[in-house]
Amino acid sequence: MISASKPRNILATLMLAAGTLALSTAAGLAQTPATCVTGVDLKTLGPTSIIGQGPNGEKASSVEAVELTPAEADKVKAGKFKVGITMQTVNLDWSQLQVQGITDTLKQYGVEVIGTTSAEYQVDKQIADIENTIQRHPDGIISIPVDGTATAATYKKVSEAGIKLVFMDNVPPGLKHPEQYAAMVSADSQGNGWIAAQILASCMPEGGTIGVVNFGVDYFSTNERTKGINDWMKKNRPDIKIKQTDFTDPSKVAQIAGDFLTGNPDVKGLFAVWDQPALDALTSMRAQGVNIPVTTVDLGLESAIEIAKGGPLKATGSQRPYDQGVAEAKAMMKALIGQTPPAWIGVQSLPVVQSNVLESYKTVFKKDPPPELANACQNAKPACN
């Protein structure tokens, strides 16, 4: 049985908790400059050209390097080629846009996609996926490795079977261009890191501390993003201190980020290495009543909505995954007709903040923003644009 004093005690506890939450939220924002994000000129934000290097130190080639001439297009159409796609997962907007860009482009030239596999981040499953795809005897395979080192031997079997191979985002160690793979296509991940760093820095006080939620696997594209953050801060805001926490299992980011923030209350800004970890970090922040600026890389619908709301997620350095898929398809077709595409083809970065999120969504997704994103913009205070 509950005594008469218990409800008052519960009410007092709730009021105290609410007050503590308000204070902690205020504390998280207290040092954020008034020019946060708004003090950044989108026209000069980020690099004007691709700044990163390829996984083996290559200079980036542009997507124009794999444009097909009319004669090459006719040769592809006459070839009746077949291509398989093996993904790390298809449960991301990024992955789905990549696959869509590949399939739409190949279809235009009469190339058949024989199937798309999803490894769900499991090395053993991806190895089986690749081997099964080889057994279907395609002319080419387009793939992103889950773990380059663990899958390298399996990817070598692709060229041994006389199949052309195009990578997205990473090349396993030991594979040589053009003997064992035709090309690797990726975003300028270092440039995307620069964008995230520049906007996060605009929100940070002098001498402040930021946290980096980093992917603790040796992976080219994510390594480049973290390098972009560190290099930009070192050059342009050496007063900012950087602390880092790593994750290897994406499903555990919320717990890892929460523990990191609890153990480092001096952290007043956060960078997460792609948008889903950023969203998971936001979940932990809200549970703790922490409200600090966050930036990331990649743009999905959920992250676009968070940016549109004008909340803690301030910006992303977005990839252009559909456009990347188009470039991968064209690199593959070049290889299929005996051409040698460049070892690394880079796709230009895209800065996304609240003021341009609707336009950026259309650029990335190749369609109009859905109602939930448009509504988030309209209801924000201030509204988008």
pLDDT tens figures, 175-211: 999 999 999 999 999 999 999 999 999 999 999 999 9
Provide the 8-state DSSP code for 348.
-
| 370, amino acid identity | P
| Adjacency order of strands within the sheet including 350-353 | 241-247, 209-215, 267-272, 294-297, 313-318, 350-353
| Higher-scoring residue by pLDDT: 55, 146 | 146
Residue 95 lies in a domain: yes
Tokens of 79: 């070839």
Task: Provide the pLDDT confidence category of residue 23 given band limits of 50, 70 and 90.
Answer: very low
**Which pLDDT value is given to residue 31?**
59
pTM value is: 0.81
Q: Are residues 193 and 182 in the same domain?
A: no
Q: Are residues 274 and 362 in the same domain?
A: yes
Provide the domain limits for residue 365: 32-48+189-319+350-379
pLDDT tens figures, 344-374: 999 988 999 999 999 999 999 999 999 999 9
Q: Residue 22: pLDDT above 90? A: no
Q: Domain count for the chain, please give it.
A: 2
Q: Are residues 119 and 240 in the same domain?
A: no
* Residue whose C-alpha is closest to residue 279's, from 318, 225, 316, 228: 316
pLDDT tens figures, 90-109: 988 889 999 999 999 999 99
pLDDT tens figures, 283-324: 999 999 999 999 999 999 999 999 999 999 999 999 999 999
pLDDT tens figures, 262-277: 999 999 999 999 999 9
User: What average pLDDT does the structure give for the chain?
Assistant: 90
Dihedral over alpha carbons 356, 327, 109, 136 (to 10 degrees)? -120
**DSSP-assigned states of every residue in 7-63:** HHHHHHHHHHHHHHHHHHHHHHHHT--TTTTTTS-GGG-S-SS-----TTSPPPBPG
What is the Cα–Cα distance from 365 to 323, expressed in whole angstroms? Answer: 9
Residue 177 lies in a domain: yes
- In the chain, the N- to C-terminal Cα span, in Å, equals 56
Q: Look at strands 350-353 and 313-318 and give their pairing.
A: antiparallel
Cα angle value 174/274/33 (rounded, 5°):
135
Residue 172 lies in a domain: yes
Residue 24 lies in a domain: no
